[in-house]
Amino acid sequence: EGETFALLGANGAGKSTSLNAITGDISATKGKVFVAGYCVTGSNDDYDVTNARKHLGYCPQIDPLLELMTPRETLAMFGQIRGIPLEILNGHVEKLLEFLLLSTHAEKTCENLSGGNKRKLSLGIALIGDPTVLLIDESSSGLDPVAKRRMWSLISRAAKNRSIILTTHQMEEAEALCTRAGIMGNGELLCLGSVQHLK
């Protein structure tokens, strides 16, 4: 709780699959997965993926954006999906746009955003509703060095009062954002420890 943890590994190591097990989108092959005390795996009495997802924010590797919508419309749509009451939704969206440094781009269509701004908006979608657990899949994949650093800064700021699990194949990213990490290969967690120890 309150930690930023990295799953490190090459492409195909099982990092994204692990996140999909945490969201309850796929079943874990072994063990149980709990989010905020709710079980998201199996079919037994303690299975409650619906309540678990109320605590989860997920930023997938591929930006889930509708190209003809604006960032403001996108965040408002996802806020409605998350069940944010309409009377506070606009204020929540404006705070997120400001946090993401997207206020000046709020009326552009998503197709006209830079790659870095698309990633920031995807992070905003994950943050809508103020989840306590944030899953981020390859946060800076495909970004130039400047956009990558901006994304890392946003993730660091978002880490206050929430737990974050992020996937990456870059040790530099894990060092910048995380205190602990696990190295994955062939769907297995091979080692676990502080980022400094794993280096």
For 138-161, the pLDDT digits (tens) are 988 888 899 999 999 999 999 988
Q: Which two tokens stand for residue 154?
A: 């946003």
* CATH architecture classification, 1-55+132-199: 3-Layer(aba) Sandwich (3.40)
Residue 15 predicted with pLDDT over 80: yes
The ranges of the chain annotated as CATH 3.40.50.300 are 1-55+132-199
pLDDT at 185 over 90: yes
pLDDT tens track for 19-41: 999 998 888 888 888 898 888 88
